[in-house]
Structure 1
């Protein structure tokens, strides 16, 4: 187990190096070093997509095929936004207000550390222990064609999501407009998202850990988490994550890049679909189906709200 964890740690460390080394070389040589460097300097957003395609879509996919496990993309969902932020910040074409850039960097690192910690905690601090349950379901669905379908379903789709929702990081480093009131609103929204997601994920982790202990003791488990933030929202962790990305978008909107709403919008629509999948999965589990149906009737989906008074179902007479 320890050897497998070390192997996956080495893989996780080495796999982004091609992009990092290329970018460092490009920045050091300068835009006038040749036609390739000149093109890279003139097209920061296109270069980001090229590097993502080659290093993530192609290389991650090949490693996933070799390992028969596409766990890497889950881990790097928490890391790629930080890499993109520093890519835009360090690019020769970068132009940014010092305060706005510093706030974006600080907030993105806090977001990433929190999400990475939650990912590792959920996985029992073992890298590559398992892949996303949705990938498992697609693997069963596509069968023999999964080896090539995974390139599109797991990786190419992630490029659309990640590049899209990180567009505000490009906007922040494309304008030196002075810091203003809307930047404060954006920062406050991001902080609210991080805080809500942290407490929601921590409460969920404690709930899962407690149920695991009850199961080992042979005692009945608790079917549904209905305490803390989960008392007022069925998916407060998703709410927190959405607030983070929409808060980041507000920076771009304030800088006149309103069209960048497409990133968080697509992400929100996808999380809406994931919400449906999660709830269907909960209802398929016999030991919690009835309790979860009641939870659905009482509790708001995303936005926290007061619980509805719904009478408990009467037991059938025997």
Structure 2
């Protein structure tokens, strides 16, 4: 028990300290920008001012790809990137909101505040689900997909993980966060399309929260049944899960596509590429998850029927099966 508590504390300290290099460097840049003569900034601070996107990629590459990877190799577990998926967008939106070049563009303050608030709500929801799933502990396990790849690549996993776990995340996270950059680059009055985007973002957060809560309750009930030696329920087919096989994924996608609408409204429709890549990746993950479900003998038959009758992502009514009892 003491060893587990010590490990939990160690992981928590590492998680809090790991973003400090980027944060401290950025604060140093802001200090020089505000206190030095703007016309005589040193080349490094001038570059940081002129290239906010490249600077963000620089931070991600060194602080996430290199440092997270190095820590993951030492710990033999790449758990931290899973947690920081919920944190990096918060860091990114505040970075874009405070970068001097964005402030010079005099972006719409209310749009910025709304996006920042929504990003915090989204992050809190995802963090809550992460820690609830992990029994409120830090770094207990890594994503099962990384564990599977570790077994697949064996002794080569230490270097392959840099590309498969981290470098790929830079493409996904920087891409889907591009609307946050756009919001802090353009000045336009709020309009009806902002309200549409905001409504979609909120809907996504709410749907994902309830879907994850229903899944958590289902898993908890099954765990109690196992402890009592009783048969478990093979498949969740209640609440939002009655209408969609992956309502949590659907809600998550709504959140990111809602941000795309905000960027499209400001004239940057091309930012949909980041969310599209993310959606395609999630579609692949959906296939992996369902294959994993079908490998579990106790639920395979029930899940096959569930697949035939239930929409994959978008919640919809059950399809009927001729010759089958609908209550089966």
For residues 289 and 178 of structure 1, the distance between their equivalents in structure 2, rounded to whole angstroms, comes to: 53
Alpha-carbon shift at residue 309 of structure 1 (Å): 2.1
Aligned partner of 1:21 among 6, 24, 33? 24
Matched, 1:57 2:56: no
Correspondence for 1:154: 165
Matched, 1:41 2:52: no
Aligned partner of 1:11 among 9, 14, 19? 14
Q: Give secondary structure in 2 for the equivalent of 1:93.
A: helix
Correspondence for 1:246: 257
Correspondence for 1:77: 85
Correspondence for 2:293: 282
Aligned partner of 2:153 among 135, 142, 152? 142
Matched, 1:177 2:185: no
Question: What do the CA deviations read for 1:16-65 (whole angstroms, capped 9, x no partner)?
Answer: 00000000000111164310000010000010001100000000000000
Correspondence for 1:226: 237
Aligned partner of 1:126 among 114, 137, 140? 137
Q: How does 1:182-261 map to 2 (within 5 A)?
A: 182-261=193-272
For residues 305 and 184 of structure 1, the distance between their equivalents in structure 2, rounded to whole angstroms, comes to: 25
For residues 82 and 288 of structure 2, the distance between their equivalents in structure 1, rounded to whole angstroms, comes to: 18
For residues 236 and 325 of structure 2, the distance between their equivalents in structure 1, rounded to whole angstroms, comes to: 17
Question: What do the CA deviations read for 1:183-228 (whole angstroms, capped 9, x no partner)?
Answer: 0000000000000000000000000000000011110000000000
For residues 116 and 202 of structure 1, the distance between their equivalents in structure 2, rounded to whole angstroms, comes to: 13
Stretches of structure 2 lacking an aligned partner (at least 5 in a row): none
Alpha-carbon shift at residue 271 of structure 1 (Å): 0.4
Matched, 1:67 2:70: no
Matched, 1:87 2:98: no
Aligned partner of 1:305 among 308, 312, 316? 316
For residues 47 and 105 of structure 1, the distance between their equivalents in structure 2, rounded to whole angstroms, comes to: 20
When normalised by structure 2's length, the TM-score is 0.94
Aligned partner of 1:294 among 289, 292, 305? 305
Alpha-carbon shift at residue 178 of structure 1 (Å): 1.0
Q: Give secondary structure in 2 for the equivalent of 1:243.
A: helix
Correspondence for 1:167: 178
For residues 235 and 128 of structure 2, the distance between their equivalents in structure 1, rounded to whole angstroms, comes to: 24
Alpha-carbon shift at residue 312 of structure 1 (Å): 4.7
For residues 2 and 60 of structure 1, the distance between their equivalents in structure 2, rounded to whole angstroms, comes to: 22
Q: Give secondary structure in 2 for the equivalent of 1:287.
A: coil
When normalised by structure 1's length, the TM-score is 0.97
Stretches of structure 1 lacking an aligned partner (at least 5 in a row): none
Q: Give secondary structure in 1 for the equivalent of 2:101.
A: coil
